[in-house]
Amino acid sequence: MRRDRFVRAYGELHGDVQDVFGADFSVPLHLGEPTLYPAKRNMAFCAYGAGDNGDEIIIFVAPKLLKGPPERIEAILRHELAHAIEFHMGEPELRTWAKSQGKTLPPGMERRADAVAEILWGDPIYYDEILVQTLDRGIRPRPKHLGL
């Protein structure tokens, strides 16, 4: 995927989050150095306490993510935005929001991020052949050996 299209896709997903959680939700996206992602399945992470002030939430993505299938890219961005939502709101408020949507969030931050993404966008999160998130078919829920 071209970088401009990738940035536009992130902007659309970020806008979806702002529509639900408010305009004060603002999480920048940064393309990280390839060395930050040594394993094949290392594609992205959400960092809280980043930035110059130490209080910013930032999503970092590996350059190799842009070479992946669109279903993987979108699922990973949704998953990382879900982490950012939890950092932004806190777990108790996030659980209250999910309950207002008629859902219960699972224990474990990783499965919780998948569940939040599924509530927000309505699509299940799967894990593909290299065990990263995808909107295409695969394993579901997140395999326990990846950490919950």
pLDDT tens digits along 18-29: 999 999 999 999
pLDDT digits (tens, 9 = 90+) for 62-89: 999 999 999 999 999 999 999 999 999 9
pLDDT on residue 55: 77
* Residues 121, 83: Cα–Cα separation, whole Å: 14
Q: In angstroms, what CA-CA distances link 43 with 19, 21, 24, 80?
A: 26, 25, 26, 10
Nearest to 108 by CA among 86, 123, 89: 86
Q: Are the CB atoms for 105 and 115 separated by under 8 Å?
A: yes
User: What's the chain's average pLDDT?
Assistant: 95
pLDDT digits (tens, 9 = 90+) for 36-49: 999 999 999 999 98
Report residue 95 as tokens: 């659980």
The Cβ of residue 132 has, within 10 Å, a number of other Cβ atoms equal to: 21
Nearest to 40 by CA among 147, 146, 143: 146
The domain spans of the chain are 3-146
